[in-house]
Amino acid sequence: MTTDSVDPSPSFARRYRVPITLGVLVLVASIVGLRLTLNYLAEQPIVEPWKSYIERLANASPDARSELQRYLAASGRNSVASQDFQRLCETMVRKAEAQGVQVEQILRDDLPVCKRVAYRLQK
Tell me, yes or no, whether 82 and 54 share the same domain. yes
Is a pLDDT exceeding 80 seen at residue 116?
Answer: no
How high is the pLDDT of residue 70?
Answer: 94
Is a pLDDT exceeding 70 seen at residue 99?
Answer: yes
6-15, 47-56, 90-99: range with lowest mean pLDDT: 6-15
Residue, of 75 and 110, whose pLDDT is higher: 75
Find all residues with CB under 8 Å of 45, minimum gap 6, and list them: 51, 77, 79, 80, 81, 82
Q: How many domains does the chain have?
A: 2
pLDDT band at 97 (very low <50, low <70, confident <90, very high): confident
How high is the pLDDT of residue 122?
Answer: 43
Tell me, yes or no, whether 60 and 22 share the same domain. no
The residues pairing with 81 across neighbouring beta strands, listed in sequence order, are 45
Amino acid of residue 70: R
Domain limits at 26? Answer: 12-42
How high is the pLDDT of residue 21?
Answer: 94
Is a pLDDT exceeding 80 seen at residue 62?
Answer: yes
Query: Do the Cβ atoms of 116 and 122 come closer than 8 Å?
Result: no
- Average predicted confidence (pLDDT) for the chain: 83
Tell me, yes or no, whether 66 and 88 share the same domain. yes
Tell me, yes or no, whether 64 and 105 share the same domain. yes
How high is the pLDDT of residue 1?
Answer: 52
Would you say residue 19 lies in a domain? yes
Peptide bond between residue 49 and the one before it cis (omega within 30 degrees of 0)? yes
pTM value is: 0.67
pLDDT band at 54 (very low <50, low <70, confident <90, very high): confident
Task: State the CB neighbour count (10 A cutoff) for residue 73.
Answer: 9
